[in-house]
Amino acid sequence: MTMFTRILIANRGEIAVRVIKTARRMGIETVAVYSAADAGAMHVRMADQAVYIGEAAAAKSYLVIDAIIKAAKDTGAQAIHPGYGFLSENAGFAERCAAEGIVFIGPSAAAINAMGLKDRAKEIMGKAGVPIVPGYMGDNQDPAFLQKQADEIGYPVLIKAVAGGGGKGMRLVERSEDFTENLASCQREAASSFGNAHVLIEKYISKPRHIEVQVFGDTHGQAVYLFERDCSLQRRHQKVVEEAPAPDMPDSMRRKMGEAAVKAAKAIHYAGAGTIEFIVDSSQGLRDDGFYFMEMNTRLQVEHPVTEAITGQDLVEWQLRVAAGEALPIAQDDLSINGHAFEVRLYAEDPAHNFLPQIGSLSEFFCDDPFVRLDTGVEAGDAISIHYDPMIAKLIVHGHDRAEAIARMRAALNRTMVAGLVTNQEFLAHIFAHPDFIAGDVDTGFIPRHLAALVPHDYALPRAVDCALALAVLLMPKQSNAAASPLAPQDPWSGGDYWRMSGAVNRFVTLKDRDGAAVELAVTLTGHGMAFDYDGEGVTAALDGSPCHAAHGSLVRLRMNGALVEGFVACEQGGRIVVVHGGRVVRFAMVDYGSAADDGAGAGRIVSPMPGRIVSLLVKQREKVAKGQPLLVMEAMKMEVTIRAGCDGIIDNLPVAAGDQVEDGALLVSIEQAEA
């Protein structure tokens, strides 16, 4: 079979853009599909053709097989690349492609089916001689029976949906008395997310590392491994940081894991890109007999760029060539590891408020670092929608060794600007500055164990240097090399810069920090700079005139108390300003001097933190509740959120019901507070 001339990409966002780039380099035309929410998206703009397939909700667009098949046939696409997520591991979709004479750029439906259910996959792997974790994977789903199995395995145990993935349908149970509640929650989420409430029970490894091996097979019976990725840094079973190779892994273990992964792939006659995920017991260090098969992802992974970085291979090109019938381009002995690579996922979420997902438009977005590979499906002016995953981009760096790669990621996070909505950027920077992470002491409990250091009490709150950088743009726009402030007057005689014919002038500026607290500054502007007091610290600052080498105009350089500091500053709509400095991200709101702080809503009045759907009500009208008691469960941005009481009292207003769609700020429940 000759190489394809036109392919359709049945996905969106950064993976669609990623596939388009490789296809374009290979001279292959691309067809994008898009929903109503993605009509102007980057992947639509980049593709050679684009086809509308339905409404914004994925269930009415990206998950509609008939619409995607029709788009492929109407445009003459010879093959479909599923990306990851959506239909990428849907055996029915792969079968339908084959029936329509369209090549599915991925494994066979039989291989997907074999690995699609965790219990069946482990049975196959066990027979193939791949190590597996002790547990129960049978058909008996009686709650009492499952609890008996868990008691016999020994706590802690994991309850896992057999059809699960991406951290959904998974619960950690540490005590027997908590099993029943967690089982019900897991089964409910599994049924909702995957249409299958069947679960398995397995032993929980106390100091686990999540290490996965990239495998690749072709239709000629060959398979290779492209080494491992350590994905141990997770939050709620969602990967946050990925690196390759795994730190401190002995060569003998690397070889043994790789050979086990190839054995797993060959057991199901696998063709295409796949990942064998292992759970590794690191309690006594990495050793040859301390890893167990967890699951296989029958698709390209989000974190594939770190493997590309250390091997010098383009895995999407490999996918296209294998799908076209070609043999693997490189033999196992020709593959080697070059250096070290990291990937982080930049999400629209607020770590200071329990990682609440964010939606909104990107007023500015860039990474001003030549050593970064930025994989993204958005740019300034695009929006992060409630309908899809809130990932903005992936930042990938490569160094000669792990220390250099860490240094490059720290620099990258300090030279990335996202304006328009809150992200996890500072949280990521704290990870790369943590001494245990730098030392390679990582496992899946790293983030919860160090959460107080990764999201400290002053997370995203201003310091004197942040105020100085912000004031440089707010009050000195004519002299600053940053983008001109929209707050600054344009008349030359009323300009907001610090030059004055008659000496110093005082300005009063009130900013609001992340929590809405007022930061009141009395600023003295002179012909040489500015001076102000902040939290008892005297600050003098002036713009530094040395040359800047930034590709973007929002870099500000100051001499502050004699030392050179620089940061990126951007102005948002509504008078907000964002400062990125020293791995920290601080957002200010500009307010009139002397204005009162906003009134709080009160602990007894609870409103929706964002648009979402009510999953279940846990209380009734006039019911007596205690502070911290769960009141209802809502689902937003693919995440289940429990709303709890902020005070003791009695429910006096409950205007929502299970199944209701609610808007941001809508009243969820009102509590008549108990008298003190």
Residues 176 and 156 in one domain: yes
Residue closest to 525 by CA, chosen among 494, 546, 499, 491: 499
Residues 353 and 301 in one domain: yes
Domain final residue, candidates 105, 124, 157: 105
**DSSP SS3 for 667:** strand
Report strand pairing: 6-9 vs 29-35.
parallel
Is residue 478 assigned to a domain?
Answer: yes
Residues 6 or more apart from 415 whose CB is under 8 A from it? 367, 368, 369, 550, 568, 580
Q: Average pLDDT in the 605-616 region?
A: 81
B/e letters for 264-299, b = 16+ CB within 10 Å, e = fewer, are: bbebbebbbbbbbbbbbbbeeebeeebbbbbbbbbb
Rounded distance between C-alpha atoms, residue 210 and residue 250, angstroms: 16
Residues 413 and 538 in one domain: no
**Active-site annotation holds for 299:** yes
We report the CATH number of the domain holding residue 368 as 3.30.470.20
Is residue 116 assigned to a domain?
Answer: no
Q: Average pLDDT in the 173-187 region?
A: 94
Rounded distance between C-alpha atoms, residue 405 and residue 413, angstroms: 12
The count of structural domains within the chain is 5
Contact (CB, 8 A) for 203 and 149:
no
We report the CATH number of the domain holding residue 188 as 3.30.1490.20
Is residue 123 assigned to a domain?
Answer: no
Q: Average pLDDT in the 642-647 region?
A: 82
Residue closest to 69 by CA, chosen among 33, 18, 40, 113: 33
Residues 42 and 165 in one domain: no
Is residue 309 assigned to a domain?
Answer: yes
Is residue 258 assigned to a domain?
Answer: yes
Q: Does the structure show a pLDDT above 60 at 484?
A: no
Residues 262 and 196 in one domain: no
Domain final residue, candidates 404, 422, 454: 454
Q: Does the structure show a pLDDT above 50 at 276?
A: yes
Please, which residues bridge with residue 87 across strands? none
Residues 294 and 319 in one domain: yes
Residues 531 and 664 in one domain: no
Q: What is the token pair recorded at 625?
A: 């509740």
Rounded distance between C-alpha atoms, residue 45 and residue 590, angstroms: 36
We report the CATH number of the domain holding residue 515 as 3.30.700
CA distance to 222, 373, 581, per residue, from 555 (Å):
51, 20, 10
CA distance to 557, 566, 609, 619, per residue, from 563 (Å):
10, 10, 41, 57
Rounded distance between C-alpha atoms, residue 153 and residue 378, angstroms: 46
> Looking at 12, 96, 209, 299, which residue is catalytic?
299
Residues 569 and 623 in one domain: no
Enclosing domain of residue 660: 605-673
Is residue 118 assigned to a domain?
Answer: no
Domain final residue, candidates 591, 625, 650: 591
Residues 6 or more apart from 96 whose CB is under 8 A from it? 65, 69
pLDDT band at 540; cut points 50, 70, 90:
very high
* Least trusted range by pLDDT, from 7-11, 142-146, 442-446, 636-640: 636-640
Rounded distance between C-alpha atoms, residue 47 and residue 30, angstroms: 5
Question: pLDDT tens digits, residue range 42-79?
Answer: 999 999 999 999 999 999 999 999 999 999 999 999 99
Residue closest to 483 by CA, chosen among 393, 577, 592, 345: 577
Is residue 179 assigned to a domain?
Answer: yes
Residues 339 and 473 in one domain: no
Q: Average pLDDT in the 237-246 region?
A: 95
pLDDT band at 512; cut points 50, 70, 90:
confident
The CA angle 628-630-633, to the nearest 5 degrees, is 140
Residues 350 and 237 in one domain: yes
Contact (CB, 8 A) for 128 and 259:
no
Residues 69 and 88 in one domain: yes
Q: What is the token pair recorded at 373?
A: 């590979």
Residues 515 and 565 in one domain: yes
Question: pLDDT tens digits, residue range 192-221?
Answer: 888 899 999 988 887 899 999 999 999 999
Identify the helix (H) or strand (E) that includes residue 226.
strand 223-235
Is residue 580 assigned to a domain?
Answer: yes
